[in-house]
Amino acid sequence: MFSFENKIVVITGAAGGIPTATAKLFYDLGASLALGDLDVDKITGATAAMDGDRVLCHALDVTSTTSFDSFKAAVMERYGRCDVLVTAAGLYRDRMVAEMTDAEWATMMAVNVDGVFRACRAFGDAMGEGGAIVNIASLAGHKGSREHAHYAAAKGAVLSFSRSLAAELAPRVRVNCVSPGLVDTGFVASLLEKIGTAMEDATPMKRRGEPEDIARAIAFLASDWASFVTGETIHVNGGFSML
């Protein structure tokens, strides 16, 4: 198994279901964590049992450059560098395009793609040789998603942004994406209410994803085991995307 001993891992949206599982996995593999989210109390609670010397919890609004400046300053003061960045902050809303306001479109872009750009801009240059960025995209960014065109467009942009950034930051830093399918978190509660078990019924592996399924793919891409992988995307969806 690979190790993140002495590695500094920064995660945005760290209070969420997938990012919390990701933070726990990196911690168990030896990393020190810098965790940012709008809901800082939730991250503090989720990490209460961890060694405080290896965890920094900080308020972060990914729609704000000033907020990133403050988060980065706190990371630099505590750890002096960043080895791995995971951009996990995300927002999901149901809306048909015909009914979508400019503000709704802009909010989804601000969190789901501008937030990834801001994170990569802030931390990309704080990474030394062997650094790794993993951006969480979505199956929606590849296939589209009815009633979520703004979300799908933002995630599609994350995929192409990541490939462009991979070319800019190589060979010092690798940049990859994980594209989850349906994962059991509060994020998709409204979708599950509407579709019930239809999606897992249609999934070859016959279940929803668990946050840990995504965390393990992220850890692999961030690890030295993926040292020749950059500009790529791993799909984690139980085979749904091959149908």
Which residues are catalytic, by number? Answer: 151
Stretch that binds ligand NAD, among 76-84, 85-93, 122-130, 199-207 (CB under 6 A): 85-93
By CB under 6 A, name the one of 55, 57, 84, 90 that touches ligand NAD: 90
Residue 183 lies near ligand NAD (rule: CB under 6 A): yes
Residue 39 lies near ligand NAD (rule: CB under 6 A): yes
Residue 76 lies near ligand NAD (rule: CB under 6 A): no
Return the residue matching tokens 């609004």.
Answer: 61
Residue 131 lies near ligand NAD (rule: CB under 6 A): no
Are the C-beta atoms of 166 and 228 separated by less than 8 Å? no
Interacting residues of 157 by C-beta distance below 8 A, sequence separation 6+: 109, 113, 141
Residue 88 lies near ligand NAD (rule: CB under 6 A): yes
Cα separation, 34 vs 4, in Å, equals 14
Could you tell me the smallest distance in angstroms from the CB atom of residue 231 to ligand NAD? 19
By CB under 6 A, name the one of 136, 152, 217, 221 that touches ligand NAD: 136
Pattern of binders to ligand NAD over 44-73, x per CB under 6 A?
----------------xxxx----------
Interacting residues of 145 by C-beta distance below 8 A, sequence separation 6+: 151, 152
Rg over alpha carbons for the chain, rounded to the nearest Å, is 17
Applying CB under 6 A, the site for ligand NAD has a residue count of 27
Please list the helix, strand and coil fractions of the chain in percent, rounded to the nearest 5, in that order: 50, 15, 35
Q: Which is nearer to ligand NAD, 37 or 83 (CB)?
A: 37
Residue 182 lies near ligand NAD (rule: CB under 6 A): yes
Residue 188 lies near ligand NAD (rule: CB under 6 A): yes
The 3-state DSSP class for residue 15 equals coil
- Comparing CA positions, the residue from 186, 191, 195, 233 lying closest to residue 90 is 186
Cα separation, 40 vs 51, in Å, equals 17
- List of residues contacting ligand NAD (CB under 6 A): 13, 15-19, 37-39, 60-63, 88-91, 111, 136, 138, 180, 182-183, 185-188
